[in-house]
Structure 1
Amino acid sequence: MTPGLPPAMDRPHFIGIGGAGMSGIAKILAQRGAKVAGSDARESATAEALRERGATVHIGHDAAHLAADATAVVVSSAIREDNPELAAAAERGIPVVHRSDALASLMTGLRPIAVAGTHGKTTTTSMLAVSLSALGLDPSYAIGGDLDAPGSNAHHGEGEIFVAEADESDRSFHKYAPEVAIVLNVELDHHANYASMDEIYESFETFAGKIVPGGTLVVAADQSGAAELTRRVRDLNLNVVTYGESEGADVRIQKITPRGLTSEVTVLLGGKLLTFTVSVPGRHYAHNAVAALAAGVALGIPAHNLASALGKYTGVKRRLQLKGEAAGVQVIDSYAHHPTEMNADLEAIRGAAGDSRILVVFQPHLFSRTQELGVEMGQALALADASVVLDIYPAREDPIPGITSELIIDAARSAGADVTPEHAKDAVPDLVAGMARPGDLVLTMGAGDVTDLGPKILDRLSKGSDAANESN
């Protein structure tokens, strides 16, 4: 099955083409034969991967980058109104398309699975993409993170299934009409766009209402917000399938057995027990795998085949990704930036680490999130043996007076955590090298550029080890 190009998307220009969501759509369009161009704030491996696929990628934002023959300009909610390329599009009458509309258009004529939830979307979408590919179904997919290499966040497949990460942050997931939707959890986040849990529930109800008539909603049974959503959508024309450890779950998790950096999961599905391996540690990821299993079964894929294929998933970049080891210290990267995610990843690492110390380098993400959840972030850091807390990564936001990393640091110390503030990111490798000793695990954590520190910490640890060996 080879869908054609969506209307007006044969020569698209992407503003912020290097972003996780934008680059995936650009890649699929390029694979379908579009003449793709775009710009990004800085050079990156993703930008280079797009060039290798035939896209034109400019660095920096300038009206001159918008080609004369561009048929549409694709933007995300992060693009500001004063962007010069956006202004040029308005002056020239070029249609401006939100990335969610572009992604929705790519699903036309296919069987979409949309993965939503406050946490776990990227992992669960990746699990589905990998397992369906392992079964030879060649799905198309668009994921918010790279599987194994820059540019591997998306693929145009010849199969009939399209797996997409559905972003609730700006309500853009309302644009999709999936055959199967997954809701992993429903919590208050994205405080710049949602003022209350009622608004969150209303948004997820709207998303559920977009599922095609007779389609399936796969929803967590154990998480309170998801359970409330289930109650609210019972009157819709949907098949609702719950999963989890709760006694009444339709896909019941019977047992999760930790096995180092993997887990063995046993579920009761259709009256039969099924056991399979999840190649990432922790209860949180085991639940993600069961959600993926339930969604695949809803599309008619045999459960035992899908369970076996799920074992092929070995992780996605920034989701407890092992960056390397030096001087007996392992460095792992985590995208966790919400307290629930932080707790889940730290508990998973704690369960797999045995007696090893866990050192965290945490970079808060967004002033608004820190304002609302900073105390809970600090409390989560108490699960580590020691932490270094950086300044807030602003991303698309302007500073909020009085909101700094001190909010997190004070809460962490009140919870008994050993916390060191560090304002200079470049100083972190030396600081961590002085703290770490053989056998420790170092976790770089956050949704900003803290991920860049992993290789630098490893390099610093390696140099320290070399110097020690020379002195001996």
Structure 2
Amino acid sequence: MGRKIFMGGICGMGMAPLAMFLRDEGCEVSGFDDNPNPAVKSMLLQKGVKFCESKKPDFDADEFIITSALKYVEQNLKDAPCKKFLRRGVALAEIAKERRLIGVCGSHGKTTTTSLISHAISTLNLDAGYITGAIPNGIPPQKFCEKNKILAAELDESDGTIENFSPEITVALNGDLDHTDTYPDLKSLEEMFARLFSRTKKYIVIPEGDGLLKRAAGSAKAETIFVKCPKDDFMMSDKLMALCALNLAFESDFSLSVFEEFKGVGRRQEILKDDGEILAVADYAHHPSEIAAFLSWLDKNSPQKKLVFFQPHRYSRTKRFAKDFQKILQSRADKGDKIYILPVYPASEPFDESGSEKNIANSNLMLANFQDIGHILNEFKRNAESKFCAAFIGAGDIYFYAKKLF
């Protein structure tokens, strides 16, 4: 057996695929999770990953890999019996350094785009590997590959670990400001992309019309490929970006048909219930642009009036984008949709009143708690003249609550 690795938050969407890849690489992997997803835990156990009751390893681990989202991480690092501490992004970068990386990044769409590339690699049995940032439907969340082979992976700028990657192909989906606690303004975001593009070895793939990404790629040595993407169809945009990356990486001429059997990704436009009374849909959207795009998609697939529950994610993001959230959601209320704002999911952030959900709410965007949802749904159902749509939006625990509810 190879290195002994302990992982904190091992059932997390990005952590579990990484754990399975490391297990396939021959590492002895164990870990802990505050609230493990049963399906993910089962997947990990089948791979031979061990679960521990303690937040610290009870053995002399070679590495302790952590997710930045965990509250307990910092207080457990100093005296844990490990030789090396790594954040998830740094651990992923170490794997990628020895492989030909297709790195997918951007404020939104990267999980779906990475999963689309992974779907093609899996279903076409291409000589390559992948590590997704979530749990895709219909394929494993990871596929192992040896060193010097093509590896597709999602790069996360939220905690700055994107600075550790030097892809062969960089797929940058958008240059929207999001994680303002790490890159506080558009200037710093553009500089981050410029650094990433300068480290890119062969190709930079960006959508036509994104001025920030075009400027960032301006002085890079790698060839920049512009992809024409529709403005009102994010799923097709993701497919076109994924297809371009596939054809560049494998020097091939694949068509969009390689994605025909793609079954989506958990928490992305996920149908929770669809019967004669209600269509319940959950989505991971937590940036203003993502919410607008998701609700626009929902309009095309569900023309009836909507009951929307939105859980903001992180105080820092809510503080920065409160007015944008309010504008988008108010436009829905003006059309007759009922909008409820749930308490902020803080992740690892301390409470900040200036970034609370109250900064989004108004007389049309009503505050609610989780225990109110069942009553609100029943009341809406009683007054609905026909089938209605309930949307659960956010990157926090709203998804797990909605899953239990239905």
TM-score (norm 2): 0.91
Give the letter aligned to residue 64 of structure 2.
Answer: V
For residue 142 of structure 2, what is the aligned residue in structure 1?
154
For residue 200 of structure 1, what is the aligned residue in structure 2?
189
Which of 221, 230, 236 is equivalent to 1:237?
Answer: 221
Give the letter aligned to residue 334 of structure 1.
Answer: D
* Mapped pair 1:10 → 2:3: yes
* Mapped pair 1:409 → 2:361: yes
Which of 341, 345, 348 is equivalent to 1:393?
Answer: 345
The verdict on how the C-alpha distance between 1:313 and 1:301 changes in structure 2, with shifts beyond 3 A counting, is farther
- Structure 1 unaligned blocks of 5 or more: 246-252, 257-281, 459-472
- Aligned equivalents of 2:18 and 2:73: distance in 1? 23
* Mapped pair 1:289 → 2:273: no
3-state secondary structure, aligned to 2:188: helix
The 5 Å alignment of 1:13-92 reads 13-45=6-38, 46-59=40-53, 61=55, 63=56, 66-79=57-70, 83=74, 85-89=76-80, 92=81
For residue 427 of structure 1, what is the aligned residue in structure 2?
372
* Mapped pair 1:333 → 2:285: no
- Measured against aligned partners, the alpha-carbon deviations of 1:154-199 in whole angstroms (never above 9, x if no partner) come to 2324793211000011221121221111111112221222222111
- Measured against aligned partners, the alpha-carbon deviations of 1:218-251 in whole angstroms (never above 9, x if no partner) come to 011133xxx2332232222111001125xxxxxx
Which of 255, 278, 296 is equivalent to 1:347?
Answer: 296
Q: Which is greater in Rg?
A: 1
For residue 274 of structure 1, what is the aligned residue in structure 2?
none
* Cα drift, residue 441 of structure 1: 1.5
- Aligned equivalents of 1:153 and 1:96: distance in 2? 24
For residue 445 of structure 1, what is the aligned residue in structure 2?
393
Comparing 21-30 with 102-111, greater Cα deviation is found at 102-111
For residue 321 of structure 2, what is the aligned residue in structure 1?
373
* Cα drift, residue 88 of structure 1: 2.3
The verdict on how the C-alpha distance between 1:99 and 1:390 changes in structure 2, with shifts beyond 3 A counting, is same
Comparing 291-300 with 323-332, greater Cα deviation is found at 323-332
The verdict on how the C-alpha distance between 1:326 and 1:419 changes in structure 2, with shifts beyond 3 A counting, is farther
**Number of paired residues?**
397
The 5 Å alignment of 1:249-288 reads 283-288=233-238
Conservation of the 8 A alpha-carbon contact between 2:282 and 2:399: yes
- Measured against aligned partners, the alpha-carbon deviations of 1:256-289 in whole angstroms (never above 9, x if no partner) come to 9xxxxxxxxxxxxxxxxxxxxxxxxx61111111
* Cα drift, residue 398 of structure 1: 0.6
* Cα drift, residue 404 of structure 1: 2.1
Conservation of the 8 A alpha-carbon contact between 1:41 and 1:60: no
The verdict on how the C-alpha distance between 1:405 and 1:172 changes in structure 2, with shifts beyond 3 A counting, is same
Fraction of identical pairs, as percent = 25
- Aligned equivalents of 1:47 and 1:330: distance in 2? 29
CA-based RMSD of the aligned residues comes to 2.3
- Aligned equivalents of 1:211 and 1:450: distance in 2? 37
* Cα drift, residue 325 of structure 1: 2.0
Higher relative contact order (CA 8 A, sep 6+): 2
